A and B are shown apart, each in its own frame.
Chain A
Amino acid sequence: MLAAQDVTLATGRVVSLRVGQGEGIVIRGRSGAGKSLLLRRLADLDPGAGRITLDGRCHTTLAASDYRKHVALVPAEPAFWHATLADHASNADFAEVDLCATRTIAPIETLSSGERMRAAIAITVARRPKVLLLDEPTGPLDPASTGLIEGLILRLATSGTAILLTSHDPDQARRLGFAAMDLE
C-alpha cells in the first residue's frame, strides 16, 4: 500500500519501509532520531530525496490534497483552526475516543493535551484514510486512554487501514501485534 524507498530525512538518515493493507509498524528510537521527520515525509509535508508510492503510484502523481486524504497524519502536537471540535468534523465519532458531547462544543483552549490528541485522532479517522500516520499518539495519554486508543488502532487495522505510529513505549509494538522498526 504505502512504500518509501531511500527517503532522506533532514537528519541525513536514509529510510526504506513498506506497509500493506491492515498492517502496522511501530517506529521506535530516541528523541531526535527522526521518527517525526519520517512521518512528515510520508505525509508529504516536507520535501526531500527518495521515492514514496501509494498503491504502486508515485505520490507526486496524485494531487497533494488527494494524497493527504489517503495518507493522513496526526502530529504529536495537534492543532485546530475552528473554535470547537464539532466545527472541525461533524461526522467524527468523538464518543469512540471518550470525548462527551459537552467537550466537543467547548472552546479548544479548554481541552487538555490528552483530549486534543484523542480529538485529533477521531477527526482524522473520520476522513477514512487508507494509511494512518500517528506521531506518539499515546504520549500525552493516561493508561486507560492509551488502552482506548490502542483498541481503536487495532479495529482500524482489522478493517484494512495501514498504520504507522511512533512510540517511546517499548511494549507498544508487542501489545498491538505490529512490526517494530528501530531508527537508531
Chain B
Amino acid sequence: MTPDLTPIDIALASGLLFLGAGLSLILSLGIGRSLLLAGLRMVVQLLVLAVLLALIFAAGNVWVTLAAMSAMALFAGLEVLARQDAPAGRRWTITIGAGAMIGAGWIIVLPALAILIEAEPWYAPEIALPVFGMVAGSSMTGMALALDTFSTTVRRDVRIVEARLLAGHTRHQALSGPVRQAIRTGLMPTINAMSAIGLVTIPGMMTGQLLAGADVMQAAKYQMMLMFLISGTSVLGVVGAVYAMARRLTDQRHRLRLDRLRVER
C-alpha cells in the first residue's frame, strides 16, 4: 500500500511551483502567474473530484455510476468541440462527440467490467469510473483529431467531392476520401501510444497499480487490457463520429452542406 500523504507533504511538494514562479521572475518568462494559477486550479479540481467520487462510491448505485459516465462523456464532447477549427454547429459537435463516446465507451467498457475484470457488482464505481475515464480521455483525443481532419479535408477537397456528386456518386462514395483520411488520423494517437508504451514512461494505470503495491506482472496485464479497451473504443468512437459528421455535412439529396460548418478563427 502507498503511505498516506499529509497536508504538509502536499504543501512541501507545492513549493516546486514557487521554484518555477521564481525562475520565471528571474528569467522574465512571464509564466509565473499562469503556473501558480494552474497549480491552484489543479488542487481545487482534484479536491472537488475526490469529494464527488467519494459520494458516488458511497452511493454504489448503477444509475449514479452511469450518470457519472454520461457526464464524463459530455465533458469529452465539449473538449472535442474546443479542438475544432470549423465545428459543424456547437450543439451538433458536442452531441456527436459525447454520443460517440457514450456509445463506444459503453459497448466496450461495460462488458469488459462484467466479463474481463469481473467487478463485483459489474458497475462498481471504484473500478468502472477510473477505467471509463482513462478510456474516454484517450478516445476523446482521437475523435477530436478525426473530426477536425474531416472538416478540414472536406473544405480543402470541396471541388473533388462535388465533382464526384455531379458524376452520380452517393454522398458516401463522394466523401470516402475525407472519411478514410479522418479515421486514419484519428487512430494515429492510439497506434502510437501502443507502439511506444513502456519505452519512455511507465503507463498511468500500471503506475497506479505499482504505487498501490500490486504485483508487477498483474499491473502489466491490467495495462494491456486497458490499452485494448482504449483501442476498441477509439476505433468505434472515431468511425462513428466521422460517419455521423459526414451525414451532418450532406443532405438527403446528396448535396454537400458546407453552410453547416461554422468557421471560427
Contact = CB atoms under 8 A, between A and B. Distances in A.
Interface of A: 43-47, 60, 64-66, 68-69, 72-73, 75, 77-81, 123-124, 127
Contacts of A127: 167-168
Contact of A47 (B163, B166, B177, B253): B253
Majority DSSP secondary structure for residues of A touching B: loop
A45 B168 CA distance: 11
Given A45-B255, A64-B254, A72 B160 contact: no
Contacts of A60: 253
A66 B168 CA distance: 7
Interface in B6-47: none
Interface in B170-196: 170, 177
Given A44-B255, A79-B159, A81-B177, A68 B166 contact: yes
Contacts of B170: 65
A119 to B, nearest CB: 12
Interface of B: 159-160, 162-170, 177, 251, 253-257
Contact of A68 (B168, B177, B257): B168
Nearest to B255: A45
A80 B254 contact: no
Contacts of A123: 167
Interface-centre pick from B162, B164, B177 (highest chain A CB count, 10 A): B162
Contacts of B159: 75, 77-79
B165 A68 contact: yes
B160 A81 contact: yes
A43 B166 contact: yes
A7 B229 CA distance: 52
Nearest to B163: A79
Nearest to A46: B255
Contact of B255 (A47, A69, A78, A81): A47
A44 B253 contact: yes
Contacts of A65: 168-170, 254
Given A64-B254, A65-B170, A69-B168, A45 B162 contact: yes
A127 B168 CA distance: 10
Contacts of B256: 45
Given A69-B168, A75-B166, A80-B163, 11 more contacts: A44-B255, A45-B166, A45-B255, A64-B254, A65-B169, A73-B166, A75-B159, A75-B162, A79-B162, A79-B163, A123-B167
Contacts of A77: 159
B169 to A, nearest CB: 7
Nearest to A43: B166
A5 B15 CA distance: 75
7 contacts: A44-B255, A46-B255, A65-B170, A66-B168, A79-B159, A79-B162, A81-B160
B248 to A, nearest CB: 15
A81 B168 contact: no
A64 to B, nearest CB: 4
Contacts of B160: 79-81
B163 A75 contact: yes
Interface-centre pick from B165, B177, B251 (highest chain A CB count, 10 A): B165
Contacts of A47: 251, 253, 255, 257
A60 B160 CA distance: 24
Given A69-B168, A81-B177, A64 B163 contact: no
B253 A81 contact: no
A66 B256 CA distance: 17
